[in-house]
Chains A and B, each alone.
Chain A
Amino acid sequence: MKLTHRNNTIKDGDGAAVGYRQYKMERDRVAFLIFVAPALIAFILIMLWPMINMFYLSTMDWRGLVKPKVYVGLANFIRMTRDRHFLRALTNTGIHTLISLPGVILPAYMLGFFLSQRPRGYRFLRLVFFSPAMISVTAIAMMFVGVYLPEGILNTVLRGVGLGDLARPWLGNTSTVLYAIIAIDFFGGLGYYAVLFSAALTGVSNDLYEAAYLDGAGRWTVMWRVGFPLILDFIGVCLMLHLIWILVGAAQNVLLLTQGGPGDYSMTLGYYLYSQAFKSYQLGYSQAIGVVIFILGAVGLLLIRKVTQRDYQM
C-alpha cells in the first residue's frame, strides 16, 4: 500500500495526453453522478421534507394532532430557557455524551484490535461480542430492570462479595439513575463496535504491523500508533453513529426503565422530545426540542469529523 499525501498532486507532464486523462476523469465523475442522481434526489426529497417540517412545526403552538396550529415564532425556544426539565435533559444528555462516546468507542476499538489479531477462538469471541446487538432494545431494558432492582442481580452480587454498603435502588436513586442508564450503552455498544472495528482492521495490511514490530514497537504502540490512525475515518463514522444513538436512540432505554424519573433525574433530550410529543401532546414544543437536538447533533458530527479527519490517503 502506498501512502500519498493528499496535497501532493501528481504532475508528470504536460500536453494533450494529460489533458485527455483529466477530461476522462471528469467525464467519469459526471457519469457517476448521473447514475446515482435518481437515488440521491429521492433520498434528499424524502429526508429533506421531515427536516423542513420539523423547523416549521417548532414555531407552532400545536397541542395535539387534531388541534389547530398557532404560529408563535420563537416562543417554544424561549420557553426552553426557563423549562427546568429541558435544562436537566440538556445537562443529562451532555453527561451521557461525555461518558458514553469515549467510554464505549475507545474500549471497543481495543477489543476490536484484539479480535483482529485472530487470537484462539476469535470466531466464537466475535459471536459473543456481537450477540448484544442481536437482542432487542426492549429485551435488554427488561434484563437491566432485573439487574438494577433493589433485590436484583447487581445488589445480590455486591452483597455476596461483602460490598453490601454499595447496594442501592439503582433506578430509584437520584444520584445513580442516569449512570445506570448510561451503563446499558456499554453492554449494547462495546461488542457491537468491537466487531465493526475488527472488520475494519482486517483491511490493514499485516506488513504495516510487522514493520512496526521490527522497529521495536510493542502491541500497545502498534494498536494506537498504527492501527488506530489507519482506521481513524471509520472510527469517526462509529463515533457519529454512537452520538446519534445517544441523542435520539437511547431515549428508548429511558422510556422502558425510568420514564425520566425519579423526578427528572434521568431525563434526556431524546426522551423529553418523545414525552412532550406523545404523552403531553405538546407537538410544537417537542419539535423545538427536536431542532435543538438536530443542531447539537450537527455540531457534534462536525467536531467528530474534524477530529477524525486524516490528512493522508491510503
Chain B
Amino acid sequence: MVIRKLTTRVVPWLVALSMMSVLLAGCAAPATPTAEPPAPPEAPAVTEAPPPTEAAPPTEAPPPVEEPAPPEEPAEEPVVLVIMDNWGSEENGKGPPLHATFEEFMAEYPNIKIEEQIFGDHEIPTKVVTMFMAGDEPDIVLQNLHQAALEWLDDGISIDLTDLSKEWGLYDQLKPSAVTEWTDSQGRLNAIPLEGYTWPVWYNTKIMDEAGVEGIPQTVDELIDAAKKIRAAGYQPFTTGGMEWTGEFVFFLALATMLTDEEIPQLYAHGGFSENAHARAAVEAFVKMRDAGVFADDVEGLTNAAANEEFYSEKAAILHGGSWFFSEAPMDIKSHITLGGMPLPEGSPRSKPAIYSSFEGKGVWVTRNGSKKMDAVAKFIKFFYQPRIMARFVEVSAMTSPLIDTPVDESKLDPLFVQSTMLGNVTEVALIHKVYVPPAIDEDLRRAAREALVPNTSVDTILSNLDDVYAILQ
C-alpha cells in the first residue's frame, strides 16, 4: 500500500516540483547559456560615425602606421585565431568589409586561420564569460565598452593593452580621445578603440519649413514652440522608440543638457539625482517638453523601428539617431535633414545644443586565451588597424575611425556622415553616461529612464526611480 501511494502521489509531485526547480535554477547555475530565454529584439547597435569635435577630415594623407610584417615562413606552426563579433551578421553593413579583411589577412599569413563567432552584442558578454569559465573563450572580441565588459580586465578575462599597443606601434596612431575613453581609472587600456560614432538630433527641415519653424531649435522653449507648429501642420514632432533603448537615450541626452561633464561620471556611477540641482532642472525641462507635446503621440509605446519609420516616411520631424542609422535612412530625405543637438533648457551650463559622440562603440579586446597566441594576435591587430582597412569601414558604414589619419574616398561617404563631421561648430558633445554605469544596475537604469516618457510621470517619481536603482549597490 505504501508503495502504491509512493507511485501514485509522491512521484508526480517530485516530477512537477523538480521540473520547476530546474527551470528556475537554470537561470544561474554556472553553465547556463542553454537556459537563457530568447534574445530580445535588437540590442543597442553601437556601431557608427564621426565625432564632430575631432572627426578626421574625409580626405587625409595616408597614415604612417606601421606596415604589417611580411608573411610568415610556411614552416611555422598553424594557429587558429578565434574572433567573436557582431559585425559579421548578414544585416550588418560592416560584415562584408570585415570578411574581406579576414580573407586578406589569411592570404597574407597562411599559417593563421581565423575562426569567426558571430553573436548579437547583447549576447556577447554572457557568451564570453561562460566560455572563459570553460577555458574556451575566443582570442579576440569586438565589443562595446559598457555593461559587463567594464569588468573584464578585473576579472582576468581580458588583458591590459597599454604596453602591447605601444609595442605594436599603434598607440600613437590612435586618436587621444579614443585612447582616453578606453583607458580605465588605473591607467589600463581595456581594448584598442575601434569604432566611434556621432549621435545627433535629426531635423527634417522640409517639414519644419512647411510648419513655419525658423531655424533649428536651440532652447527647450524654442523646441516646444516648434513642436506646436509642427503639430499644427499635421506632423508629429519628436519621435523616438519610447519602449526601447532609443527612448532611453533621448532622456539621458536631455539630462546631459543640464549636467556638466564633471557631474556625469559621478552621478551615473553613484546616483544622487534627486539631490542634484542640475539633474532636477533637467528632468523638469524634460517633463515640460513631454507635457507640452514635443514628443510624438503615444511615443511611450513605439519601438525603435516604428519611430525610425515614422521619421523616414516624413510623418515626424525630429529624431535622435546615431550615425549607424545614416546608411539606412532613405536617400530622398537626406537632402533636407539637418543634424543638430538637443536644445538646452534655461540655465544650462552648456553653450550649444548637446549631442553624443564617442569611441565606446566597439573595441578590440584580447582575452586570456588570446594572450597565449600573442604572435598571431599581434599580426592580426597590426593588419586590421592599417588605415586602408579602417577606411573601408568608414566608407561603408559611416564609422568614425579611431586612427588619427584615415584616407577615405570622399565620393563614397554618406552625405549625413559628411554633415556630421561639421557638428562641432553647432553642437557640444556631452559625455556618454553608460561608460560610468555599474553593470549591475544598467538594465534597471534604462527601464527607469523609459518611464520618463510615460505621461503623468512626475519629476519626483522620475528622480526617485533613478535613485532607487542605485540602492542595490549599497
A202: CB under 8 A from chain B? no
Determine the distance from Cα of A48 to Cα of B14 in the docked complex, in whole angstroms.
Answer: 9
Q: B-side binding surface: helix, strand, loop or mixed? A: helix
Does the CB pair A47–B18 fall under 8 Å? yes
A193 adjacent to chain B (CB < 8 Å): no
Set of chain B residues within 8 Å of A249, measured between Cβ atoms: 23
Determine if A262 and B454 form an interchain contact, defined as CB atoms under 8 angstroms apart: yes
- Would you list which residues of chain B between 1 and 26 have a CB under 8 Å from chain A? 3-4, 6-7, 11, 13-26
Answer whether A298 and B148 are a contact pair too, CB < 8 Å, given A149-B306, A150-B301, A287-B28: no
Q: Is A105 at the interface (CB under 8 A from chain B)?
A: no
Q: Of the candidates A53, A255, A281, which one forms a contact with B439 in the assembled complex, judged by CB atoms under 8 Å apart?
A: A281
Assembled-state Cα–Cα distance A92/B431 (Å): 37
Contact at A262–B243, with CB atoms within 8 Å? yes
Contact B25 A255 (CB under 8 A): no
Tell me, rounded to whole Å, the shortest Cβ–Cβ distance linking B8 to chain A.
11
Contacts of A143 in B (CB 8 A): none
Closest to A243 in B: B20
Residues from chain B with Cβ under 8 Å of A33 in the complex: 3, 6-7
Chain A 262-304, CB within 8 Å of chain B: the 1/0 string?
1110000000011101111111111100110110011001000
B403 within 8 A of A: no
> Nearest CB to that of B309 among chain A residues?
A151
A47 with B22: in contact, given A261-B447, A279-B443 (CB under 8 Å)? yes
> Which of the residues B3, B17, B155, B450 comes within 8 Å of A261, measured between beta carbons?
B450
Given contacts A244-B20, A290-B28, contact A261 B243 (CB under 8 A): yes
Given contacts A168-B301, A262-B243, 4 further A-B contacts (CB under 8 A): A33-B7, A84-B468, A244-B20, A255-B38
The distance from the CB of B358 to the nearest CB of chain A, in whole angstroms, is 22
Q: Once the chains are docked, how many angstroms separate the CA of A279 from the CA of B6?
A: 41
Q: Which residues of A contact B130 (CB under 8 A)?
A: 65
How far apart sit A48 and B21, CA to CA, in the bound complex (Å)? 8
B242 adjacent to A278 (CB under 8 Å):
no
B28, B129, B243, B442: the one contacting A279 at CB < 8 Å is: B442
Question: Does B277 touch A at the CB level, under 8 Å?
Answer: no
Does A138 count as interface, using CB distance less than 8 angstroms? yes
CA distance A305 to B442 in the complex (A): 41
Q: Which of A274, A293, A301 contacts B37 (CB 8 A)?
A: A274
Q: CA A47 – CA B14 in complex, angstroms? A: 9
Say yes or no: A50 contacts B22, CB within 8 Å.
Answer: yes
Q: In the complex, are the beta carbons of A171 and B37 less than 8 A apart?
A: no
Is B27 close to A, CB under 8 A?
yes
Chain A contacts for B155, CB-based, 8 A? 64, 66-67
Q: How far is the CB of B449 from chain A (nearest CB, A)?
A: 10
Give the contacting residue for B3; candidates A30, A64, A67, A264; CB below 8 A.
Answer: A30
Can you list 6 contacts pairing A with B, beta carbon distance less than 8 Å? Answer: A50-B26, A54-B24, A150-B298, A169-B299, A263-B451, A273-B24
Asked whether A172 lies within 8 Å of B17 as measured between CB atoms, the reply is no
- Bound-state CA distance A48–B25 (Å) is 11
Number of interface residues of A (CB under 8 A): 78
**Complex alpha-carbon distance, A287 and B29, angstroms:** 9
Within 8 Å CB of B306, what residues of A?
149-151
The answer for the CA separation of A277 and B24 in the assembled complex, in Å, is: 11
Q: A43-B18, A293-B24 are in contact. Are A172 and B454 (CB under 8 A)?
A: yes
Chain B residues near A62: list those with CB within 8 A: 28
Interface of A is mostly: helix
A66 engages B20 (CB within 8 Å): no
Verify if B174 is at the interface (C-beta below 8 Å from A): no
A40 within 8 A of B: yes
User: 8 closest Cβ contacts across the A-B interface?
Assistant: A169-B301, A172-B301, A47-B18, A172-B300, A51-B21, A150-B298, A50-B25, A263-B451
Task: Kindly report which residue of chain B lies nearest to residue A84, judged by CB atoms.
Answer: B468
Minimum Cβ distance to chain A for residue B157 (Å)? 7
Q: How far is the CA of A280 from the CA of B451 in the complex (A)?
A: 19
Q: Taking each of A57, A244, A280, A283, which has the highest tally of chain B beta carbons within 10 Å of its own beta carbon? A: A280
B465 at the interface (CB under 8 A from A): yes
- Assess the B23–A244 pair: CB atoms within 8 A: yes
Chain B: minimal CB distance from A161 (Å): 19
Asked if A48 meets B27 with Cβ closer than 8 Å, knowing A64-B155, A255-B38, A262-B453, the reply is no
Decide if B16 touches A240 in the complex (CB within 8 Å).
Answer: yes
B451 & A261 in contact (Cβ 8 Å cutoff) = yes
- Whether, in the assembled complex, A184 has its beta carbon less than 8 Å from a beta carbon of chain B, the answer is no
On chain B, the residues within 8 Å of A84 by CB distance are: 468
Contact among A48, A57, A142, A247 for B18, CB-based, below 8 A: A48
Given contacts A169-B301, A280-B441, A263 and B454 within 8 Å (CB-CB): yes
Q: Could you say which residues of chain B place their CB within 8 Å of the CB of A172?
A: 242-243, 298-302, 453-454
Q: A252 near B37 (CB under 8 angstroms)?
A: yes
Closest chain B CB from A174 CB (angstroms): 6
Give the Cβ gap from B36 to chain A, nearest Cβ, in Å.
Answer: 7
Contact B16 A290 (CB under 8 A): no
Q: B444 — which chain A residues lie within 8 A by C-beta? A: 85, 280
The reply to whether A260 and B447 contact each other, CB–CB distance below 8 Å, is yes
Most buried by B among A26, A148, A263: A263
Cβ of A197 within 8 Å of any chain B Cβ, yes or no, is no
Q: Give the distance in Å from the alpha carbon of A263 to the alpha carbon of B251 in the complex.
A: 14
A136 to B3, CA, bound (A): 41
| Interchain CA distance A301-B19 in the complex, whole Å | 12
